[in-house]
Structure 1
Amino acid sequence: MLPYSNPNHDFAFEQAVIGMALISLDGSILKVNSALSDLLGYSQQELTAGAPQEDSSIRALLNQVIWNARTAQDHPPLPARFEYVYHHPSNREVYLSICTMLQELDQRRRGYLVQFEDRTLLRQLMKQLELKEQKLTEEENAFLQLMEGLPLSVFITKKSIIHYVNAAALRLINATHPRDILGISTDVIVDVSDHNKLMKRRAKYAESGEIGSVDYLIRCLDGQEKMVTGFTLIINYEGEKAAVGIFKDITEQQMEEDRVMQSEKLTTAGQLAAGIAHEIRNPLTSINGFVKLLRSAERSNELYFEIIESELKRIELIVNELLVLSKPQSVHVSGPIDVFAIMEQIITLMKVQAALKNIEIIPHYPMAPVFVQGEVNQLKQVFINLLKNAMEAMNQGGTITLDILHNAQEVQIIVQDEGIGMTQEQIQSLGQPFVTTKDTGTGLGLMITKNIIHNHGGTMNVESVPDHGTTFTIHLPAL
């Protein structure tokens, strides 16, 4: 089940004026709205059926989306935003502004919510303005007529003082007449929280003569706050250098993004809270019952104390794993990591425990060292969790094989056991809090493991056959 199966979400997704898509972590299109279908030149069915995804233009676009999303995860801030030139099937170029946000697709998978905004008109306008600046230096009336007719807000400033606004700009800042705004510094319009952006853009122009695009929080003349996006060009105006800023109001768009993200957070928090309440209530009920029995008993009963101690340890386990889960899981890169060296340390650490259970760990390593980028302790935690799970699934002893495979793109770590295995339904539930195949497990360990792998830009696959064992395969980007 995908997000937006909620009717309200489905309606907002489909009726959005900008193109929207759900894309899996590996770059497959799962869902698109009609606006994106029109923008890319393919029907919704074609885009999700797979064939157009093999088209070079579509494939190149998806690859760029995934690359930028993964880069943003390793080097915040999020969400990932970038611009892209798309080659339309009608043999024309479409300039796209793309925003990617990591989302929970369902209880088992994560993917990307991607927004595509057509900026072709803005880019064409930019080129037109550059030509006008060259050809119509002395014909400012024609230039101003062009600005006045634009549906976008236009501000012309000199040394940060506003010298011209068009009708759309007056509406944007809730002004009734140009005299209300002319002569005012841009510092008054741009909110104090974004003054640092203003300073950086001025410094950039002083160094390189470039300004580029920007998003601002602005404060209108009546105090209302709005979010705008736009770009700035340098022209000659009234015989002097001036900056032309062209902006669009994106307040509603950003509010919708925030509503969607907040809805997802509340859903996740509610599910986790329900699981916590259920899991902790059960041992507390047992403890309460046995305390009442102890009060009424004439002599001490050691069995009661053992049960109370066991239930208290279970509460402690749940709380400890929740504390680990609540810590930020962002990757603090410590440099290249030799996967072979990590696995040697972990096998040395765990082979005594394996021997006590009559289990043999057999590693298969490549001839040369294999490196990935990441945080050593987090990756150790991943491999320890997988080996512990494998051993706990093998009550009758047996063999655990550990393989490391690699190519230019990725490193694969494969952990295969001969344990009790899992059904397809159990595999699909892996990683959900308090869903486990073990008698004393909480399910949080594997949830943490999946989060760490994801934060390292990797994925994890599970294959299992009941009574024949389970294979976990981790895919990490090769260094």
Structure 2
Amino acid sequence: MTNALVRENPSMHDVEQRAVLAAILRTAVDAIIIIDQSGTIESVNLATEQMFGYRSDEMLGQNVKMLMPSPYHEQHDGYLHRYQQTGERHIIGIGREVIGQRKDGSQLPLHLAVSEVETKERKLFTGILRDISDLKAAEAELKQLNATLDQRVQEQAAELQRAQSELVEKEKFATLGRISGGIAHEIRNPLNAIKTSAYYLLNAKSPSPAKTEEHLHRIDRQVSVIDNAVTALSDLARLPDPQSTALNVAEWLPRILRDCKLPRNIHVTEDYPADLPDVWADEKQLPIVFKNLIRNAHDAMPEGGELRLSARLVDSRVLVTVEDNGIGMTPDVARRIAEPFFSTKARGMGLGMAITTAILDKNRCTMELNSEPDRGTKFNISIPLAEQSQ
């Protein structure tokens, strides 16, 4: 009885092994093709049918070169013959990128790995093919990004230079050294991120599609950061002349306040006389001033505090006050607050107060700043009356 069982076990093991191998071939996501020494296809899996668009019965018994476009189609038999004659391996056990051709004639990039299997009677070759269309598309996109990146940076640098020249000509800023430092900071950091991602994509071996997409998105985001910095400075230098109209401060200041969406831990007090006369300013530009001032007050009170908005008639002009009891500013910071790219915040380009000052100048308004560390900041904005300006 024992001897009989021993004789039966190898056969049972072979059946089980063949079943496992069949399951692997059937469920594999990569195409698996087995050919003989002449290149005739002896076996294909379901993934091969899906990849090339042929049914298995259309491929079995045919030369594997049917899945290759020219010139590989014509060269393939020569590769097999040369290997059989010389034993010199060009692809077996190495793997390489190749081009496949579907039944409909369309082509696709593939990674091919070939292994050699010797039986007692003959020699077979197994090819495993993976569709790398997504990877090649990502590589092409990366090359395009790299090809245009230098040009875009040069264009942006030229635009930045023109913007700086305009600022100098208009004598709006006297500290170009600090401006240059801020510009370099705003551009150098994203450029370093771009360089790191580009290096990874150019040198990584078989990066996953997800990793490739992540780095491509990072490059795109950093290019946008550079573009936004240049655009913001250019817009500041070319701020258009105001299209002034009569504005009711008591009506649009509350709207601006609502747009800023302050947190509940900031208590707001508003005081606008009912008989306050209209002011004369650009209805698009002047609200930017007060949005910047309110946001600055918010940032100055991270733990909450008091924000007071008021308006009154003073010397035939409307004086609008924005006051907080936040962290305040030192005299040195207060002096430099309108410099482009100067900021005490961890984030932001430091253009908010520079834009605020430019808008006020354009609209014939004036600004007075009073601030003390740990006691708060007060801005007084003086705006001309509509009845005197028309």
**TM value normalised by structure 1:** 0.40
Q: Which has the higher strand share?
A: 1
Does 1 or 2 have the higher relative contact order (CA < 8 Å, sep 6+)? 2
Larger C-alpha radius of gyration, 1 or 2? 2
